[in-house]
Amino acid sequence: LDEAIDRVGKMIGMAIDWTRLETFLPVTDDLQLRRSALASSFLAALELARRGRLDIAQDAPFAPIRLKVAA
């Protein structure tokens, strides 16, 4: 989780506008690793939002989760 917080924290600094959560996942063909990375990245995003570093949005149930640097 700490690695995910570092990774998402660094990458969100590069994002100027709303960016889909999937953008912050490491590139891999391993489905199990991808699912694990998605879960840890989502938890990292929640933690960074709690710290006030980013905003999280989702337009509807099951819609993509989007992130951006907190205003």
The structure tokens listed for 21 are 């959560």
- Tens digit of pLDDT for each residue in 11-54? 776 666 898 998 878 888 999 999 998 998 899 999 999 999 89
Q: What are phi and psi of 48, to 5 degrees?
A: -65, -35
Q: Identify any residues that bridge with 67 across adjacent strands, giving them in sequence order.
A: 19, 56
pTM of the model: 0.80
> How large is the C-alpha radius of gyration of the chain?
11
Give me the residue label for tokens 């990245």. Answer: 41
The structure tokens listed for 6 are 């570092």
> In the predicted model, is pLDDT for residue 8 greater than 90?
no
Of 1, 3, 20, the C-alpha closest to 64 is 20
